[in-house]
Amino acid sequence: MKMGRQWLLLVMVLLIACPILAAEKKSEKKAAKKGPPKCPAEQRIEQWTTGLSLTDEQKAKLAPVKKEFGPKLAELMKQRQAIYTPEQIAAMAEARKAAAKEGKKGRDLYQAANAAVTPNDEQAAKLAEVRKEIGKLEKDLRAAMMDVLTPEQKAEIKTAAKKPAN
């Protein structure tokens, strides 16, 4: 009788512990897979050069460009984020999650998040100013990147930019 209770207790403990351990492993894998966020300049360059075969020399030349523009873009993005209230940020995060579940990506995801909030006049003015600065910096980043590319690669990027997004 005692032996039966011990076995029953052991089985119950295992039934409770196994799902918990599995969930922990899954969350550890997710955390390890995600890694640190990329710098904004690196993200932009990857986005613009998708489909191009960059040489090791070109990658080496782009490294200082990323280092130069990354912190500047990150600072401007922090400034843009600081314009919103915590409630607006939460609403944007929820809208972004919902849009991602719908399969939206890239610009559509960004637009869905921004559509979730209506900035007041002061916020709108600050956002316009920061967006203008981001646009100027991205233009400079793109020019610096284009200086590294071959004429064929530049033509390929221009052709890809003219194609409508899916």
DSSP the chain: -HHHHHHHHHHHHHHHHHHHHHHHHHHHHHHHHH-SPPPHHHHHHHHHTTT----HHHHHHHHHHHHHHHHHHHHHHHHHHHHS-HHHHHHHHHHHHHHHHTT--HHHHHHHHHHT----HHHHHHHHHHHHHHHHHHHHHHHHHHHHS-HHHHHHHHHHHHSPP-
- Residue 114 — very low, low, confident or very high, per pLDDT cuts 50/70/90? confident
- Who has greater pLDDT, 78 or 162? 78
Number of other CB atoms surrounding residue 148 within 10 Å: 19
Q: Which long-range contacts (CB under 8 A, 24 or more apart) does 143-147 make?
A: 144/65, 144/68, 144/69, 145/45, 145/48, 145/49, 145/62, 145/65
* Residue-level pLDDT at 39: 79
Q: b/e string for 34-60 if b means 16 or more Cβ within 10 A?
A: eeeeebbbbebbeebbeeeebeeebee
pLDDT for position 165: 56
Alpha-carbon Rg for the chain, nearest whole angstrom, is 24
- Categorize the per-residue pLDDT at 27 as very low, low, confident or very high, splitting at 50, 70 and 90: low
Model pTM?
Answer: 0.66
Q: What value does the mean pLDDT of the chain take?
A: 83
Quote the pLDDT of residue 21.
Answer: 63
- Average pLDDT of span 102-108: 85
34-71 residue pLDDT tens: 555 677 888 888 888 888 888 999 999 999 999 999 99
Residue 16 above 60 pLDDT?
A: yes
Look at phi and psi of residue 51 and say left if phi exceeds 0, alpha if psi is from -120 to 50, else beta.
left
Stretch 109-130: mean pLDDT: 90
Is the pLDDT assigned to residue 103 strictly greater than 60?
A: yes
